[in-house]
């Protein structure tokens, strides 16, 4: 089939290239006591570079499980995860750890900031862990500046010395976004990022995510049970009975 690129929207052009990330025919069960509880049975999800996708579905439908498999936080029992067409879920642990830390950024419903660290220290943490002590020490000023720049980008430059307990929910989530971004991920995986926020604060977080997607071409896969939040993405996929049930295409905002 031949198509010309002249009349295609940027999103349509994106769809013709190799997907950035794919989870294909994923099966996953958890063992509870004597029982094996199947969660995913043949779920598939593919994102092109620059796409913003929402995954919706009832509580317990396996949304987080699928996101964790996609981001190498968990392994599928059956199926494959591909990064730019190359399988990554079956690599050695050290290669998987490298990819997880360099390619993916994660944000969660409850932020998971470290309570004893300031916001700035929280944001610096991924790079502190990445470098050896000596390499970190020689680059500490640069890393600090990177963290400051990202905190400014998410509007938190006036909160850098605060600890998480001194921040609002929205500020904690923006801090968590900054921490996810400092490692310059290609794909942001967001699990219910507005799940613990009121709708107005949740709207601000969605504004930040939309901006990152549009300005930095950051690929985002976001899980949510909130239909209004889901509508902010380019595309909505619905997970039901362990599979992707329907796909709704939305006009890009
Ligand atoms: P969702 O994010 O859509 O609410 P999850 O992926 O968290 O769904 O969970 C899907 C199902 O798998 C649920 O029934 C949940 O109880 C079960 N589950 C999730 N994680 C684990 C685990 N680590 N051990 C056992 N069961 C789990
Ligand atoms: Mg979940």
The domain ranges of the chain are: 10-249
Sign of the alpha-carbon torsion through 187, 189, 193, 199: positive
Number of H helices, E strands in the chain: 8, 10
Task: Please give the mean pLDDT across all residues of the chain.
Answer: 91
Q: How far apart are CA 42 and CA 27, in angstroms?
A: 5
**Binning pLDDT at 50, 70 and 90, where does residue 2 land?**
very low
The per-residue pLDDT for 16 is 64
**10-249 topology per CATH:** Rossmann fold (3.40.50)
The 10s digit of each residue's pLDDT in 54-75 is 999 999 999 999 999 999 999 9
The 10s digit of each residue's pLDDT in 148-201 is 999 999 999 999 999 999 999 999 999 999 999 999 999 999 999 999 999 999
Of 138 and 230, the structure prediction assigns the larger pLDDT to: 230
Q: Is the CB of 224 under 6 A from ligand 1?
A: no
The 10s digit of each residue's pLDDT in 78-100 is 999 999 999 999 999 999 999 99
How much distance in Å is there from the Cα of 78 to the middle of ligand 1?
17
Residues 6 or more apart whose CB falls under 8 angstroms from that of 62 comprise: 28, 39, 40, 43, 239, 242
Sign of the alpha-carbon torsion through 154, 157, 162, 166: negative
For a substitution probing ligand 1, which of 37, 222, 237, 245 has the most ligand atoms within 8 Å of its CB? 37
Whether the predicted pLDDT of 4 surpasses 70: no
Q: How far apart are CA 205 and CA 55, in angstroms?
A: 17
What pTM did the predictor assign?
A: 0.90
**Binning pLDDT at 50, 70 and 90, where does residue 253 land?**
very low
Which ligand has the nearest atom to the CA of 108? 2
The per-residue pLDDT for 6 is 58
**Class of residue 116 by CB neighbours under 10 A (exposed 0-12, middle 13-18, buried 19+):** exposed
**Binning pLDDT at 50, 70 and 90, where does residue 134 land?**
confident
């Amino acid at each position: 089939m031949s198509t010309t690129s002249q009349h295609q929207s940027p999103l349509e052009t994106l769809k013709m290239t190799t997907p950035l990330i794919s989870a294909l025919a994923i099966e996953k069960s958890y063992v509870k006591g004597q029982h094996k509880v199947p969660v995913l049975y043949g779920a598939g999800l593919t994102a092109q570079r620059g796409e913003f996708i929402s995954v919706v579905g009832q509580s317990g439908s396996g949304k987080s499980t699928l996101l964790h498999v996609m981001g190498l936080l968990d392994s599928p029992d059956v199926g494959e995860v591909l990064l730019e067409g190359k399988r990554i879920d079956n690599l050695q642990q050290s290669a998987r750890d490298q990819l997880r830390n360099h390619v993916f950024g994660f944000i969660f419903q409850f932020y998971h900031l470290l309570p004893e660290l300031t916001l700035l220290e929280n944001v610096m943490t991924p790079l502190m862990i990445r470098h050896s002590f000596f390499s970190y020490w020689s680059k500490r000023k640069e890393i600090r500046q990177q963290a400051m720049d990202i905190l400014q980008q998410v509007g938190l430059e006036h909160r850098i010395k605060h600890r998480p307990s001194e921040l609002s929910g929205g500020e904690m989530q923006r801090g968590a976004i900054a921490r996810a971004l400092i490692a310059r991920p290609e794909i942001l995986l967001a699990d219910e990022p507005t799940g613990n926020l009121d709708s107005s604060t949740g709207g601000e977080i969605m504004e930040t995510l939309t901006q990152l997607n549009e300005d930095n071409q950051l690929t985002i896969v976001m899980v949510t049970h909130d239909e209004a939040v889901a509508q902010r993405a380019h595309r909505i996929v619905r997970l039901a009975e362990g599979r992707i049930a329907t796909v709704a295409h939305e006009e890009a905002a």
